[in-house]
Structure 1
Amino acid sequence: MEYLLGLLFLICTIFPLIFSAFTPIDNYHISCGSTQSISFQGQLFNPDSPNRPNFSLKTSKDSSFAISNPNSNSSLPSPLYQSLRLFTQAAYYQFNIHQPGHHWIRLHFYPLSNSTHDLLSVPLTVLTDDFVLVNNFTFKNSNHTFLFKEFSINVTSDLLSLIFVPSNGSVSFINAIEIVSIPDSLIEDEVVTIPSAFFTGLSGLGFETVYRLNMGGPVITPLNDSLGRYWENDFGYLHVNNSAVKVSVDPITIKYPSGLTIETAPALVYSTAEAMGDPNVTSPDFNITWVFTVDPTFLYLVRMHFCDIVSEALNMLIFNVYVNYDIAIESLDLSSLKGGLSVPYYKDIISNSSNGSTTLTVSIGTDNVLDFSNAILNGLEIMKISNEFMALDGTLSVHDILPDSVPGKGVKWVQFIVALAFGLLAMALVLVVLRYYCLTVRQRKAQNCSNPWLPLPLIGSGTTHTISKVSMLSNRSGTASCISLASTNFGRVFTFQVIMYATNNFNETLVLGVGGFGKVYKGTLEDGTTIAVKRGNPRSEQGLAEFHTEIQMLSKLRHRHLVSLIGYCNERSEMILVYDYMANGPLRSHLYGSDLKPLSWRQRLEICIGAARGLHYLHTGATCSIIHRDVKTTNILLDENFVAKVADFGLSKTGPALDQNQTHVSTAVKGSFGYLDPEYFRRQQLTEKSDVYSFGVVLLEVLCARPVLNPVLPREQVNIAEWAMSWQKKGLLDQIVDPALSGKLSAASLKKYGDTVEKCLADHGSDRPGMGDVLWNLEYALQLEETSVSFTGGDENSINSVHGTVMEGHVGDKGVNVSYTGGGSHMVNDAPSLVFSQIVNPKGR
């Protein structure tokens, strides 16, 4: 028996290491202040002596000291704590990064006894080039005898600096450092928040591991984790100790699904769990709850690991998951979701503390609607998310903390300040000259300054606007300013005061929606014009680059089916865009999730046709092709007449240069999950066909009136593209249409529509049609729908199907010829219908 247990432990220890598919490119383990290498938890920590390969220590002269206490080995919690590096001035370690991407940064601190400095009282501050990791931590004000910190950041350059900043008159120290590559897939870019919304742009943020628990199982050390993580037992965090019962299975029985590996979490995590126990309470609806202390000023990424190791058959375990007592996952059916038992699954949720307190709770409980009496949780990770100051501790940014004395760092900062000062001085002189010029011109040409609106250029119009006139402030302020936009032509420049007045100080009752860039407010200008105001959120990954892109793109484009940019505001570090108000909001709100009246099939076709025209114009109608890169139903807006307009160009990219025989644009993957072109995701090669794929998903969303991704549905239904195409290939697409359309669309129109969607969703971009072909086919589907109405002598609300099945259709000399199995060829119109676009020479309107 002992032999078998020993063998099992050996297998569980080495199994993840043997079969791990991930090998870190960057793998630094540094024992600071040591004179020899130290082995700890399967890793060899090397001394930080000078001239080490691939990393260096940058310090001022005589400001760095190695301190060791080798005689205390037996009493130290780790052999890494027998030495440290002490700094009397700011200094940094610099590491060569061979593969940019996500990396662990692990810091080990232990205040060795020292006759010169009281290290227990030393305030510790640690920075990277972009993030504040630790800010003024002292052992004296905590209950720690040693400190281990683990961070995950996305390193985007080939060098990483780890900076130690002593407070005035004090020192700083570090015992050991780890810098290790991790898979970029470990952090997804788009996550649901509690309350429910989508939080995008996680890849650009920093994370600190606050809690990592192995539910119902033993401590897991870095030896048993392919990414060197430490998992503690959950017992100390249970709100009621006997509310949970430990369950476990052999780790070898865990079956990882495609796309999920032991890097997500080791099999030892998924092979143990906490299940429902006896809470000794009268209520049958009790939950198992874990309570954690957190900083209420930060958001947290809560990752919950599940694996059904308790059921004997499928669909026997359905339960609810709560974060801060808000529903996070309703009716979670693990076996249906993953297609089997003992298959790992995880879910990410973003939340903050409970009602502004210092606690965060995670709970699992039975589904009250269904007759199931169990719930489980296998593992839990809680990670602090960096705030708007790019800090994981405090509210100061790197530039607020970084002193000028850092060797090689402060000098650059001083140079930047000097350059900025000269730049501001030059700008001030230019503004003085421009103001004088503007006042002179205004006296001579007052008619040119009576209108505060700045014209937007039209691509391909042959007209160039040169603007150097006055942009007036609101008469309310009683002042005016002159801003030269001769080289920008970017529309009206709004003052922040005007925006505040228009939105009633950004009143939350005027919020129209929330996107990746920030909130959108309804506003009213002084002249009564209704506008939509998009205000940038500093926490969003979409920032200055997307702000500029949106302005540059929309200022060059004018088309009936593209949303119109009126102007912008960039005062007071704000990034605000002002658009025409779209009275009927985003297309998605008319499909599901609201009480709005369902759209008719004809309306849906006309909306899709309008959006396709807008995208076709982007791809072919401008001087250079433009790829939208974020086509989805929330970015298709409807005006008061339900005319569709494509919106949100923050992620747009200029397409490949055809005259240089380019076929794609190589760029980092951005977009929205569910709509993302799988070929673009795999190869990071963006083409116009990436928009075509996304639009194909939109067409399915319009037809089925359901979200593109719904993880609570059975596994085969989670992804709308996979699910709908399985029905399309069986010729049964009519079985999954929106119930509101049942019996109200023709078979001919639906068949053409389904064929168009199938072509858009082809695996390879080369097999997909261009947006012009998509547009033609949608117009054809509308023409077939109108024809069926005329044939049945009714309206579209009384259509069951066209008599016969459409076999083929083409544009003839006199009209559209449509052949049916039930009869001969019929001429739909005497002349080509106006519904068909001018595909050959599209022009913006």
Structure 2
Amino acid sequence: MLAGSLISFLLLHLMAVTMALTADPLLLSCGALSGTTDESDGRRWDTDTDYPNFLPLNFSSISSTATASDTSVTRVPYMSARIFQSKFTYTLPVSTGTKFLRFYFYPAPYLDINESESFFSVTANHFALLSNFSAFFTDAGASTNSSKALRKEFVINVNETQILKITFSPSPNSYAFVNGIEIVSMPANLYIQGDDHEIKMVGRQNIFYYINNNTALKNLYRLNVGGNLVPSTEDTGMYRVWDSDDEFVVGYSYETPHLDVNITYTSETPAYTAPTIVYTTSRTIANYSQSLDWIFPLDAGFYYLFRLHFCEIQLEFTKQNLRVFDISIGNQTADRQFDVIVWSRGWRIPVYRDYAVYVRDPDGRRSKQNVSLELRPDMETKPVYENAILNGLEIFKLSDPNGNLAVPYPESFFERPKKNKKKNISSHIIVVIITGVISGIAVFSILGFLISWRRNGGKAGSGTKKTGSSSLPSDMCRHFLIEEIKNATGNFDEKFVIGHGGFGNVYKGYLNNGTTTVAVKRSNPSSKQGVREFQTEIEMLSSKLRHRHLVSLIGYCDDKNEMILVYDYMANGTLRDQLYNTDNAPLPWKKRLDICIGAAKGLYYLHSGTKYTIIHRDVKSTNILLDDKWVAKVSDFGLSKVGSLGGIDVTHVSTAVKGSFGYVDPEYYKRQKLTEKSDVYSFGVVMFEVLCSRPAISPNLSSEQVNLAEWACRSCTKGNLERIIDPNLEGQISPECLSKYVELAYHCLRDQGIQRPSMGDIVKTLEFALQLQEDADNRGHEVEGYIYPPGSSSPLITNGHEEIFPGLNEVERKLTDNDISISTSRSARLKNITIFSEIMNPLGR
């Protein structure tokens, strides 16, 4: 009787617990000995062992406590962990509806768990959330700071069964672990809004995306733009964390101070959409910048939801057409002429806009791609201010049709530490064998690492850095061993050579088991460039010198007297490769203009966008590289010089003359005084290379034609420029565009640097030339000639003062010896251009 009563009591207790836990939120401190309270927000976390209905009857797991901790990490839920040695499923009763599902991981030492053996996958019902994941490694494959706690957040819908099954599956010979699981209900239609909510697809006109209950979301970024971190306790009851955007913003902007004002929420933007502090802080454009810009690494091959939050709260922005801007994501237009007041229908009323973005996967490997977000003033409606604003941003990855959100962490990316126990060594051999069956390339990489390790006396460490001393920086780029480079290039096989230069051969190489294609520049003993140029290149590019139109160094190797630089592979080679002496198809005119604009932006960033002015000193068409999307990137900083602090007038740098014949500034050559206008001269030569498709120096031509710069300038003043323009461009260039382009190139080649435009002027004028070309294309008029406008016989440039084409009635040009400024009618108004908008911190070039 007593036993029966006890059983009945336990059953009733279990039912009560189950019913209680069906109500959200559900907080599990996994592996904890008892229910505890979180010091950070006061919520009670229940241990998973208290409720056996959560766990399978014959589960194989270990409860453990972190043997090391950091004061910045809360005890709950991070200090206890449940460790799984085999597949394990939590069966959790929850209410029907859309949920936040959050996992908490603390990569710290635990009993019987080795960081090199912790790889696992996680599913929730039919959604794949994580694959071959390790909390001990970053997405790039480097070890994390052991004190860095991780929080992974997902949004999923639970149907009427009210059951959520979360399965942890260790990878072969690995362990899975989790510190905490949190499930919180959210209001209907917050993120999963079904077919009633059309989400504009960026880059596809009149095509919309719909997020329904069959879609899961993974939160990647939730940012309080222009403000500080907003902890979960200050959210709207859903315990979201809003991080600062400092890590992702590029260029220059103002962080508007937090204003303690009342926000008027609406039915379209309810109070739970985002906390008030998100809408009362923001970023706006600084006077010396032209746009607001951010860069985000995203997995290729997925759709993403970008949610942008806006609210005008400042007194000067109370009505429409005061601040109007364009929004682009991934270099594609998302919205034009966006006016916050118009969309929110009032002052201090918040609004958000959703955009669906697809990140292309050109190589099918779902590798990381840097995706930009840019807000640029749109002046077509003549708003009062040339400005833009953003208050908050959320980015979610959307599951594919198979319910997959995960990109596996390739286990062979990570070099494993040497183990002490024989059992562990045996396990490691099994892992290598299994990996070898899956991919022969992985075996060769591991064997190459082991050989290198033996040759270096077992001191190679992780394989990415050399423990021996080196005077070169290694904190911002990877320090390769020579064995890694040889493995990537087939021991410098000649069939991998893709270029030659003064430094030496350039090889195509493959890292990370062939998943990352790189360009490997190796010095040869007879190279004219030596240790100084090698060190300069590394010091320039391993610093925080990052821009979309500059190459970025992946790493270097100075092992065994080698001097090797490793960059990301540039699929379309150099600009010169695409212009002449090539089998490639001729570049269209507008693509050539885009390339010039990109290269000019990179150089302008060097001159004005860094703490110190940087003079490239070797601008030429072979140092402008083109990636697979034809984005121009300035390369080769071995000859670069650092001038004075940015923003302070630079007189000159006294230095020996170096550069490439045909591109060297004559003033610099005569006076041996280098300024940023020396780069401007060289860029002018490149501009004529682009227009004429011929080298800067052609020794086989007549004496008057050998030097392109001199010949082009003479042709301009004599009015016979048509003789030197690439015939492949016939009929492609509008007279207005050609006039502006050649006028600019001519000014770049002025004898005195003070008479040349700045790189900022060059970017603006090239953007204007492109706008003129696009306006002409939109009008659909046929170009009857590409030197003179229809019915005109006036030359492009005359001796003395230059004059505009007679047919250009819309454009009024103002010229001084030191500057070029342009004003236009409304129909041809010059838009503000992006100069610092593409600063970035990519993994590679």
- Which bracket does the TM-score occupy, shorter chain normalised? 0.3 to 0.5
Question: Normalized against structure 1, the TM-score is what?
Answer: 0.42
Question: Normalized against structure 2, the TM-score is what?
Answer: 0.42
**More relative contact order in 1 or in 2 (CA 8 Å, sep 6+)?**
2
